[in-house]
């Protein structure tokens, strides 16, 4: 096989910065970046625009959060990608680190700082692996107390400005949540979001007077929209807190609902067919304000500066690697200088297309055509890789690369075209669409992949003998389902951290995740027969496509036995299979050493069987 190590370095070393957090005086902006080879905390001096790495852990940093009034930050760190985050306090400017938690078997989710900077709130599953309770810690003394305990997944998300209450999200499923207002004087929690059916509540933030709450929700709606909840109104039991719709939406609002310090302006983004549009909103006039246009790409993690009229956010797109940007109603600009070593002109922007599927529905997809087409056959048809996103209720979006998406531009550089569909079950297209693949309808989403192949062939985009498929996580399951359901369509396949057997997956996934996943896939108690029927492990005798399997040994989401079972079954049948196991990774390929091994191997695999 050819050596593509130089090429891959040019493509996967397009670094990514994300997760901005402002210092209290807005002079510093903290963020997470993998410039040194693994995610660490970095700082940007806003006056002189210089950035420097601030932590040097041997493991990845998950997030950073400045104190609201002191020169110190919270960081989270796991081990080997296992997502068992621990909390540490880092002092500025010395960089001195003090561990706040040290329970390797326990997961800690950071919530928020108290307004006086003396305490933090977080959730942990130390009482029971399957449940997360809400805790408060005094960061000076280390004293902790549990303020809310339920047999549920509770995540503190905000501390009221008056310091008297916590706002807690209760995760009923991945697509259904509740908001609880938890008084810190020992009074019982107040359910703010009593509802029937399904509703999502994301990125809630308090108004400065603690009497209102702003949040993105699809309560009684098809799409996520910004609303205001009136906390001052007394509500009867089993009644939803009164809300006011701030803006009607025909697409999902996303990326947070950031509020200016004086409460007079809000910012959010709109996901329009996979690309983010920035929105500013005047709370007094209740009108949308002018907002700067961004290149086609994705906005995440909006954070309003505590001292100025601008927001910081992560931005990633096809031709802009992940960096922190800032924006006001007047302008937007890149703030961090995480380098991009590839000429933008060499990067391929995808074409948004829609193709018909078996029931007449139109499936949205992004089609990438390589600039170099020397691998086309005599009819001009190209080898094509279909990339399937994870989730399942995720969405393919036109970014350069991220931990959940391999560097597709690399495969374009090697002469492959790429089609990335958002099959039924994907987010971004409303509640109805996201539920079209639930439980017994799971094979319908696989049929959408068959329809993608038909579109490629009918429109002359693909050589029918050189169509491959690749996916990660749930997308890995879709790969296995595709090559067992429609074995004649595929020349080669790549499964990254995918599910081979829904029964063993649900039995062995993290206990805290099982209830969330059963709501989507079906439960072992009520749907075992269906789960067995749709599990690719029971149809391995239909697989003819050569399969590459990649998995992290520390994966707490999709346990590695899923990979090992499918590999063993194919080896027993002498089907070509290549297995890469990464001992220091979990569900994501976070280390550059892993990426430089895995991504060229995938390219070589497709080149071997789709020459």
What pLDDT sits at residue 10?
Answer: 79
What is the H or E stretch that residue 164 is in? none
How many CA atoms within 13 Å lie on the side-chain side of 340? 20
Q: How far apart are CA 419 and CA 461, in angstroms?
A: 10
Beta-strand relationship, 462-472 and 492-496: parallel
- 546 pLDDT higher than 80: yes
What pLDDT sits at residue 522?
Answer: 85
What is the H or E stretch that residue 291 is in? none
Helix (H, G, I), strand (E, B) or coil at 572: helix
Query: How far are the Cα atoms of 192, 237, 240, 286 from residue 232, in angstroms, in the given order?
Result: 11, 15, 13, 20
Structure tokens belonging to residue 52:
């420097």
What pLDDT sits at residue 253?
Answer: 98
What pLDDT sits at residue 6?
Answer: 60
Query: How far are the Cα atoms of 49, 368, 398, 520, 557 from residue 391, in angstroms, in the given order?
Result: 37, 22, 16, 10, 11
What pLDDT sits at residue 343?
Answer: 84
Query: How far are the Cα atoms of 150, 182, 240 from residue 196, in angstroms, in the given order?
Result: 20, 22, 10
What pLDDT sits at residue 26?
Answer: 96
Nearest to 433 by CA among 509, 502, 354, 323: 354
Q: What is the pLDDT of residues 491-503, one digit of tens each?
A: 999 999 999 999 9
Q: Considering the chain, what is the average pLDDT of its residues?
A: 94
- 217 pLDDT higher than 60: yes
- In this prediction, residue 1 has a pLDDT band, given cuts at 50, 70 and 90, of very low
Provide the CATH topology of domain 344-609.
Answer: Rossmann fold (3.40.50)
- In this prediction, residue 5 has a pLDDT band, given cuts at 50, 70 and 90, of low
Q: In the predicted model, what is the mean pLDDT of residues 139-152?
A: 96
Q: Between residues 339 and 177, which one has the greater pLDDT?
A: 177
Q: What is the pLDDT of residues 261-315, one digit of tens each?
A: 999 999 999 999 999 999 999 999 999 999 999 999 999 999 999 998 999 999 9
DSSP symbol at 290: P
Q: How far is CA 187 from the centre of its chain?
A: 35
- 115 pLDDT higher than 70: yes
Q: What is the pLDDT of residues 556-586, one digit of tens each?
A: 999 999 999 999 999 999 999 999 999 999 9
- 382 pLDDT higher than 70: yes
- In this prediction, residue 520 has a pLDDT band, given cuts at 50, 70 and 90, of confident
- In this prediction, residue 7 has a pLDDT band, given cuts at 50, 70 and 90, of low
- In this prediction, residue 12 has a pLDDT band, given cuts at 50, 70 and 90, of confident
Angle at 270 between CA 295 and CA 519, to 5 degrees: 125
What pLDDT sits at residue 244?
Answer: 97
Q: What is the pLDDT of residues 316-326, one digit of tens each?
A: 999 999 999 99
What pLDDT sits at residue 4?
Answer: 58
Q: Long-range contacts for 439-445 (Cβ within 8 Å, ≥24 apart)?
A: 439/521, 439/522, 439/527, 439/530, 440/522, 440/527, 440/530, 442/481, 442/521, 442/534, 443/481, 443/485, 443/534, 444/358, 444/359, 445/392, 445/478
pTM recorded for the entire structure: 0.94
What pLDDT sits at residue 433?
Answer: 97
Q: In the predicted model, what is the mean pLDDT of residues 112-120?
A: 97
Q: What is the pLDDT of residues 60-93, one digit of tens each?
A: 999 999 999 989 999 999 999 999 999 999 999 9
Nearest to 214 by CA among 290, 138, 171, 266: 266
What pLDDT sits at residue 237?
Answer: 86
């Amino acid at each position: 096989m050819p050596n593509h190590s130089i090429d891959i370095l040019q493509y996967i070393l397009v670094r990514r910065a994300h997760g901005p957090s402002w210092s209290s005086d807005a002079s510093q902006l903290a963020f997470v970046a993998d410039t040194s080879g693994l995610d660490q905390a970095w700082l940007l001096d806003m006056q002189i625009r210089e950035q420097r790495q601030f932590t040097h852990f041997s493991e990845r940093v998950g997030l950073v959060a400045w104190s609201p009034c002191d020169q110190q930050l919270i960081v989270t760190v796991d081990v080997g990608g296992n997502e068992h985050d621990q909390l540490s306090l880092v002092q500025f400017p010395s960089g001195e680190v003090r561990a706040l938690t040290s329970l390797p078997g326990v997961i800690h989710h950071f919530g928020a700082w108290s307004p006086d900077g003396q305490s933090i709130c977080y959730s942990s599953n130390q009482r029971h692996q399957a449940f997360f309770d809400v805790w408060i810690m005094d960061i000076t003394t280390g004293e902790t107390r549990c303020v809310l305990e339920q047999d549920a997944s509770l995540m503190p998300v905000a501390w009221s400005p008056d310091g008297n209450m916590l706002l807690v999200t209760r995760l009923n499923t991945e697509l259904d949540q509740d908001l609880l207002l938890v008084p810190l004087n020992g009074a019982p929690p107040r359910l703010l979001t009593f509802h029937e059916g399904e509703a999502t509540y994301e990125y809630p933030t308090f108004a400065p007077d603690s009497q209102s709450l702003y949040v993105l929700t699809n309560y009684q709606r098809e799409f996520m929209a910004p609303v205001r909840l009136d906390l001052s109104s007394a509500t009867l039991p089993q009644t939803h807190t009164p809300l006011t719709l701030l803006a009607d939406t025909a697409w999902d609002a996303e990326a947070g609902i950031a509020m200016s310090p004086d409460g007079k302006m809000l910012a959010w983004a709109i996901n329009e067919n996979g690309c983010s549009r920035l929105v500013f909103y005047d709370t007094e006039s209740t009108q949308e304000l002018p907002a700067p246009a961004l290149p086609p790409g994705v906005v995440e993690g909006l954070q309003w500066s505590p001292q100025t009229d601008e927001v910081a956010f992560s931005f990633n797109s096809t031709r802009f690697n992940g960096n922190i940007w800032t924006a006001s109603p007047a302008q937007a600009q890149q703030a961090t200088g995480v380098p991009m070593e590839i000429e933008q002109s060499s990067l391929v922007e995808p074409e948004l297309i829609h193709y018909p599927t078996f029931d007449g529905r139109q499936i949205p997809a992004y089609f990438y055509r390589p600039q170099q087409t020397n691998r086309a056959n005599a009819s001009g048809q190209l080898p094509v890789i279909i990339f399937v996103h994870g989730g399942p209720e995720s969405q393919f979006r036109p970014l350069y690369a991220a931990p959940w998406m391999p560097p597709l531009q690399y495969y374009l550089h090697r002469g492959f075209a790429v089609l990335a569909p958002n099959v039924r079950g994907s987010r971004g297209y409303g509640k109805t669409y996201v539920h079209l693949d639930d439980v017994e309808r799971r094979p319908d989403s696989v049929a959408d992949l068959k329809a993608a192949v038909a579109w490629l062939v009918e429109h002359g985009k693909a050589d029918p003998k050189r169509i491959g498929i690749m996916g990660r996580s749930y997308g890995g399951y879709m790969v296995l389902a595709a090559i067992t359901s429609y074995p004649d369509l595929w020349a080669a396949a790549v499964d990254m951290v995918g599910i081979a057997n829904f029964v063993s997956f649900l039995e062995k996934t993290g206990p805290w995740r099982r209830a969330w996943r059963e709501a989507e896939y079906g439960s072992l108690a009520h749907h075992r027969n269906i789960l067995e029927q749709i599990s690719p492990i029971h149809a391995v005798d239909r697989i003819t496509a050569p399969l590459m399997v990649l998995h992290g040994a520390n994966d707490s989401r999709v346990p590695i036995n899923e990979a090992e079972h499918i590999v063993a079954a194919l080896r027993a049948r002498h089907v070509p299979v290549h297995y890469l196991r990464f001992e220091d990774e979990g569900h994501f390929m976070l280390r550059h050493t892993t990426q430089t091994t895995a991504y060229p191997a995938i390219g070589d695999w497709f080149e071997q069987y789709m020459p």
